[in-house]
Amino acid sequence: MIISKSIFTGVTALVPLLSPGYKTIMHIAVGLSGGVDSAVTAWLLKKAGHDVVGTIMRIWDGRSASHTKGNACYGPNEDEDVDDAQSVCTTLGIPLHVIDCSKQYNELVLKYFDDEYRSGRTPNPCIVCNQGIKFGMLPALLAESGVAFDKFATGHYVRVEHDEASQRFVLKKGVDPKKDQSYFLYRLTQKQLSKILCPLGVYTKEQVRVMAHEAQLPVHDKKESQDFYSGDYTELLSVKQVPGDLVTIEGKVLGKHNGYCNYTIGQRKGLGVAGGKPLYVIAIDACNNKVIVGDKDQLWSNGLVADNVHLGTIALPHHLTAKTRSASPAVSCTADYDGTMLTVMFDEPQSAITPGQSVVLYDGDAVVGGGIIKNKINN
């Protein structure tokens, strides 16, 4: 089946929806967010003839929060997203199952978030949530509730393919480089990859917006979620924000910081000190409650070491590309693994390597694996 050309005005190449992985009519649960991407995913799969149900997770635990705003994954505005998901399901004529994952989210994601900031690292809660909650507890609890389904689909801009030679599932970048979300899903297991569908990986965001409008989905013009939390994220931390010294790498005290959890590697604004030249955060010493600053040249690194490694079957060392932040371009590197630590050496030095963030490795457009950055390598 091919979607109507009217939906792709100006697009020269149309993509068959029922490509490999979609040919058999299936029972599919679509993880909805209340946004346009997951709504179009549900519409595409239903239009292809599948038996589709919607599901959305509740993760907000009702805690008090100040200075909240919309367009965030976690926050007190969750009811609006549930209402939008219900509107989408009503429009499509499919049921919606709301699953409470707030307890699991607290135990896994928020505890991780707090632990990482306590240690002076900068966490990436979306990666932990995707593996443990969105592609873990949500479909598991949905199945436990009595809903039977063959596949679990989401609106992520990635491709999941089965490699016949290795008999493994491969996670690949979405075709839209501006929207590719493979960085956030690199920790998904083979079991998880075998159960998921991500139809939007072959489309651009512009095409998805057009489809949403043509399908008259009620969220076709809804803004995207941009943040993890809708308020001041220090509200989620158990560590008390204690002022400390803002120092150079040589130990010279330049001023005071207002709590090391408020800083991240590469930060320039908001330091409150003048060093005669622009200063950047180059390290965080949580044990001694110090934020270390320096000039831009001190941000550059030749490589990094990562732990908590998740890798496929590729033989290392190997020349690959790597991303050290979701919005950063993939850069050439050589990766090696000793069974515990992943070492990544860049072909050219990279800036602001941040402990706690993930390094994700690619072989072409296929995800090889990655790990959590432990420290940078300067020489």
Residue 139's H or E segment, with its range, is helix 138-144
Domain 240-294, what fold? Answer: SH3 type barrels. (2.30.30)
Structure tokens at 49: 């003839």
Q: Would you list the domain boundaries of the chain?
A: 5-229, 240-294, 299-377
Structure tokens at 98: 């709301």
Residue 67 half-sphere exposure, CB side, CA atoms within 13 Å? 6
Structure tokens at 69: 């705003």
Residue 56's H or E segment, with its range, is strand 51-58
> The domain 299-377 belongs to what CATH superfamily?
Translation factors (2.40.30.10)
Distance linking the first and last C-alpha atoms of the chain: 55
* DSSP per-residue letters across 322-368: EESSTTSPPEEEEEEE-SS-EEEEEEEEEE---BTBEEEEEETTEEE
Q: Which residues make Cβ contacts (< 8 Å) with residue 168, sequence separation at least 6?
A: 162, 190, 312, 313
Q: Tell me the C-alpha distance between 113 and 315, whole Å.
A: 32
Question: Using the 8-state DSSP alphabet, how is residue 317 labeled?
Answer: S
Q: Tell me the C-alpha distance between 41 and 203, whole Å.
A: 11
Label residue 34 exposed, middle or buried (CB < 10 Å: 0-12, 13-18, 19+): buried
**pLDDT tens per residue, the chain (379 residues)?**
333 333 333 332 333 444 445 557 899 999 999 999 999 999 999 999 999 999 999 999 888 766 556 678 898 889 999 999 999 999 999 999 999 999 999 999 999 999 999 999 999 999 999 999 999 999 999 999 999 999 999 999 999 999 999 999 999 999 999 999 999 999 999 999 999 999 999 999 999 999 999 999 999 999 887 678 877 888 889 888 899 999 999 999 999 999 999 999 999 988 988 767 889 999 999 999 999 999 999 999 999 999 999 999 999 999 999 999 999 999 999 999 999 999 999 999 999 999 999 999 999 999 999 999 999 998 6
Kindly tell me the number of DSSP H helices and DSSP E strands found in the chain.
8, 19
Which amino acid, residue 297?
D
DSSP β-ladder status, 290-294 and 244-248: parallel
Q: Which residues make Cβ contacts (< 8 Å) with residue 314, sequence separation at least 6?
A: 363, 368, 369
Contact (Cβ atoms closer than 8 angstroms) between residue 292 and residue 254: no
Structure tokens at 211: 């489809």
In the block, which residue shows the tokens 């990562």?
A: 306
**Three-state DSSP class for 91?**
helix
Question: Using the 8-state DSSP alphabet, how is residue 178 labeled?
Answer: T
Residue 166 half-sphere exposure, CB side, CA atoms within 13 Å? 10
> 243: closest CA among 255, 258, 230?
258
> 259: closest CA among 244, 274, 269?
244
- Other Cβ atoms within 10 Å of 299 Cβ, number: 21
Q: Which CATH number fits domain 5-229: 3.30.1330.40, 3.90.1150.10, 3.40.50.620, 2.40.420.20?
A: 3.40.50.620
pTM confidence score: 0.91
**Three-state DSSP class for 133?**
helix
